Structure 1
Amino acid sequence: LFPNWTLPLWITTGLSAFFFCYLLVYDVTYAYVEDGKDLFYRIMIAVPNKVFPDVSLVMLALCYLPGALAAILQLHNGTKYRRFPDWLDRWLQCRKQLGLVALAFGLLHMIFTLIKPIRYSFMYSRDTGVIKQIKENVTKPFDNTEAWRIKTPLFHGHSGIPALFLLLGITSWPSVQQHTNWREFRFVQSKLGYLTLVLCTGHGLVYGWNKFLKPSRYHWCLPPSYVLSLVLPCVVLMLKLVLITPCIHHRITRIRNGWEKPGKNQGHHTTVSLGKATSL
């Protein structure tokens, strides 16, 4: 039942469990052990709202990583007709499911962020901060840099990123694919897909800002969770930058158009599965 969903769901479950346990230790347990603060109420909203974007970003990167690996293999083999390894072939076939899961977690993150102002803990912290300034007769100066740091990821997260994410999800539906040609589908899923990955990665980088440079942000030597979630997307984008350099991109294009490295056996074409020889 739903064979192409088995691997994505296992990956999603594993990543969700990992980030949830990580944040449970990083945010909640650390505060309880070191400072004696009971922050277990964060398990309901705050912790999931960090798990969702972390998992979504990693899943989106996993959606585009196999394409880069396949391109590297084709460069190494000098032909598009040689079979991909079974694990890579299976990974390539479930990219749509990986992307849809990333979309779902991204939408959950957006919804949880929108309800942040009505959370009791948020309103309590805001009100006590105002009361403290009134009692001490001081005014906290407006921090223009902090305003940019907060507004920029909010703008990306509630405007461009959801629109692109939804466009990627909609064009993956079979009913929509029937009304698009290959060039249109490839433009949306490849070009706009990587643009979405760039924006999502930038969203995480701007959100984190310089937090990773502050020793106080490392609880029990553990970095903030967003640092972990940014590793794989940055690797994928670096690979893509290498693959789109003119000399390498030209060679990949020739290979995918049927060119083969001199000396390759020309008689193996008929033995290759078409499903594994499809251009990416």
Structure 2
Amino acid sequence: MKSDSIAMMDHPGKIQNKQDTVCIFGTGDFGRSLGLCLLQSGYNVVYGSRDPKNSSLLPKGSKVMSHAAAAHEAHVIFVAVQREHYGFLNSLASDLEGKVLVDISNNVKRGLYPESNAEYLSRLIPGATVVKAFNTISAWALQSGGLDANRQVLICGDRADAKQLVVDIAQSLGFTALDRGSLRAAAELEDVPLQLFPLWRLPLYIATGLSAFIFFYVLTRSVIYERVTNGKDIAFRIMISLANKVFPIVSLVMLSLCYLPGALAGLLQLYNGTKYRRFPNWLDRWMLCRKQLGLVALAFGFLHVLYTLVIPIRYYVRYRINAYVLTLVKDNKTYEFDNTAAWRYDSYYSMGILGFSLFLLLGITSLPSVSNSLNWREFRFVQSKLGYITLLLCTVHTFLYGWDRFLKTTSYKWWMPPAYMLSLVVPCVVLILKLILITPCVDRKVTRIRQGWERQSKILVNCRDTKTSHPLIA
């Protein structure tokens, strides 16, 4: 049998048609969606099927035939079947000689096999060139045109010319292709679809742990304390009152955690005197998930706003207001206007509204469709400058909520400070660190370090000749 390279020289016109024809082994959801996209992009599509007569679901304009016949029609063959069904390829080894096999398979869990599916396929059909690609693209993404995160096709393989053929196909379908190296990277690519929100895990763990801690803290200070000391049952407050204490605290702390790693990174660079020294792994991981931390914080802040809006219609609140008014009427007393309280509450609400508005702006600019329309300076201005202003406004909002309550001994139930005081610890630390970093003398030094300046070590300074200032060690 002639190889494809010989066929190219003998029949140049025929091989040109082969390059415009793509073969797909497999008629499942992905195979049908891929075939439709290829047809719309101008390719001829031929399906290899164990039952060529059953073609009612295949896209119009495509051909369906046996695997062996379909393999002769195209140079690039997409293997759209699971690894467990690769057995039929053994009988096609001679028909697949010199072909480019695009493996798009995935596994149901990690570590299921000792080698990647693509490497197994390459060992199974040694005469063909295997390229791993399109396994991170879903059938839905093919049907919808590859929107946002589904627009990128990861590719790996051992031959550059084979990978280029797949890159051309991906680009003609409207996708962007990213070369991830040799076929050894196939195992990593096959693990990508199995990852469940990898950058969201740490923020969700923090949110869950922080929510549980704050909830049991406020539960102890209010419900359990009243039950033990006064015999009152106020457990009904768990649903609204306690929840509306947990949400803003978690939101403010997590917003602070978005900016704390940046401040710590600046201090580390200042301490090391260089930007070329790696941060600790925990700090790297923390900085990578700052966007997710902020979005989770925004979700808790949004819940706080919703819960606050229902306060006037709560039964408990209406009961307290009516009872207080009746008490004033019975005692013939007048509710005096407090100018200080008016300023405090108006300022409290104002800071909350402004802080939440900027918080929403931060969330909107985190969307890929919005952030892609901003240049780096604009994005940094919103996320950094306005981000710190948001943190400041929300912190002032919390200070105004507590006011002078920290001075009253009755606020410390069982020697436990009010929960709002706990929420101020991290934001205040972040704002103080930022204040230190933006002072002119410190900011100037950090800026120089980030521009490439490095502080000479004491060892190098001590190894210089005192007369000539030249190093003593060559």
Structure 1 length normalisation: TM-score? Answer: 0.92
Stretch of structure 1 that moved more, 168-177 or 179-188: 168-177
- Alignment partner of 1:39 is 2:234: yes
Alignment-mate amino acid for residue 211 of structure 1: R
Identity %: 63
Q: Bigger radius of gyration, 1 or 2?
A: 2
Alignment of 1:15-164 (within 5 A): 15-158=210-353, 160-164=354-358
**How far apart, CA to CA, are the structure 1 residues paired with 2:367 and 2:269?**
28
The structure 1 residue matched to 2:451, chosen from 249, 257, 264, is 257
**How far apart, CA to CA, are the structure 2 residues paired with 1:81 and 1:264?**
18
Structure 1 residue runs of 4+, over 3 Å off?
none
**How far apart, CA to CA, are the structure 1 residues paired with 2:457 and 2:254?**
39
State the aligned residue count.
264
**How far apart, CA to CA, are the structure 2 residues paired with 1:144 and 1:167?**
33
Residue by residue over 1:103-149, the C-alpha shift from the partner in whole angstroms, topping out at 9 and shown as x without a partner, is 11111101111110000000000000000111111112112212222
Q: Which residue of 2 aligns with 1:270?
A: none
Describe the SS at the equivalent of 2:274: coil
Aligned-residue CA RMSD in angstroms?
1.3
Alignment-mate amino acid for residue 228 of structure 1: L
Q: Which residue of 2 aligns with 1:268?
A: none
Q: Could you tell me how far 1:263 is from its partner in structure 2?
A: 4.5
- Alignment partner of 1:206 is 2:373: no
Q: Could you tell me how far 1:224 is from its partner in structure 2?
A: 0.5
**How far apart, CA to CA, are the structure 2 residues paired with 1:7 and 1:97?**
9
| Structure with more of its chain in helix, by fraction | 1
Structure scoring higher RCO (CA < 8 A, sep ≥ 6) equals 1
Alignment-mate amino acid for residue 97 of structure 1: Q
**How far apart, CA to CA, are the structure 2 residues paired with 1:119 and 1:200?**
25
Describe the SS at the equivalent of 1:222: coil
**How far apart, CA to CA, are the structure 1 residues paired with 2:350 and 2:236?**
28
Q: Which residue of 2 aligns with 1:176?
A: 370
The structure 2 residue matched to 1:238, chosen from 432, 435, 451, is 432
| Structure with more of its chain in strand, by fraction | 2
Q: Which residue of 1 aligns with 2:13?
A: none
Alignment-mate amino acid for residue 219 of structure 2: L
**How far apart, CA to CA, are the structure 2 residues paired with 1:71 and 1:169?**
24
Structure 2 length normalisation: TM-score? Answer: 0.55
**How far apart, CA to CA, are the structure 2 residues paired with 1:157 and 1:112?**
14
Alignment-mate amino acid for residue 261 of structure 2: P
Describe the SS at the equivalent of 1:15: helix
